[in-house]
Structure 1
């Protein structure tokens, strides 16, 4: 099949045709609108999500700071299978002093095999609570990109689903109309099979 016939077949709803119904034109516009919404809306949703994620990660990097802490407990097992996690860490109590001189203690994940008095670095927020290390700019960019892609795909899925529902409704309407027409034309045929 040559290119012009393939194109004509693909865009049959747009051509003048005595068999084309109003619902066929509506369906063509629905398909066009869905793809436009997916292209434009998906891009906008992805960009907004990436921007929002970048702001959150930048705020985390600005609010969180690393401090030197000292392990308080001496009961950190060398064997992580005795209460540890799969990555070889265990929760233990640590103590640190803020730049303003206030002393804090809290629990955090530490490597196994450490003894009391061992120094380590923990990340804290502005309220003196132990928090996770903020993502580096590269990690933040990758995570923002993944979140943006997921948001754009979710939006595209919703738009595609709405379009599929509209097309299904049009198909149901066409089937009902064909059923009515067949009930008028069918009895006029002289012979029946069966």
Structure 2
């Protein structure tokens, strides 16, 4: 014959703040820590995501400069499978608004003679880069960066909170253990020796 079915335990929500005779000060502290950790995790995720999106947006910021080919471009492009539109690398030179001269490598059409004017894209540090993404693609890149960084930042804060909460739980268990060692021997005496 089977015994009675085990009782199903149902979690009690917000028990850290409810009044009950078993609640200790550490329970209340734990409740506030859990609430603070969730709030900080959400704030950290939102902040980190926004900062990552802004950083990617700033890194996409490049400006067009008019450059001159310093050498004639090669006549035959390398076989790249059509990815770069048949263009070849060539040395270019340009002058900034402040008069400083810069050089770099840019993709140009094959066979372009030295002295040909071309438009290249440069970063704030005057490094030649490929043409920037614009419009929806730029927004998508920035949003993707934010979406990837946000959960990581939130998880980091949540992990720290989990460690703190674990220490509180161990401390509470040690307190209960100490109290049980003090009360446990008297417990058997209270039942009148019945076992």
Shared topology, TM-score over 0.5? yes
Of 109, 113, 116, which aligns to 2:111?
116
Q: Please identify the structure whose Cα radius of gyration is greater.
A: 2
Q: 1:3 maps to what in 2?
A: none
RMSD over aligned Cα atoms: 4.1
TM-score normalised according to structure 1 size:
0.64
Q: 1:72 maps to what in 2?
A: 72
User: Aligned equivalents of 1:183 and 1:26: distance in 2?
Assistant: 24
What does 1:143-158 correspond to in 2, within 5 Å? 143-158=141-156
TM-superposition CA deviations, 1:115-172 (whole Å, max 9, x none): 4338876324578652232231323222222232233323211221121011111011
Query: How many residues were matched structurally?
Result: 174
SS at match of 1:12: coil
Unaligned runs of 5+ in 1: 1-5
User: Aligned equivalents of 1:25 and 1:104: distance in 2?
Assistant: 64
Q: 1:37 maps to what in 2?
A: 40
TM-superposition CA deviations, 1:87-106 (whole Å, max 9, x none): 56897324467699x99764
User: Aligned equivalents of 1:94 and 1:31: distance in 2?
Assistant: 59
TM-score normalised according to structure 2 size:
0.63
Report if the CA contact (8 A) 1:13-1:24 is conserved.
yes
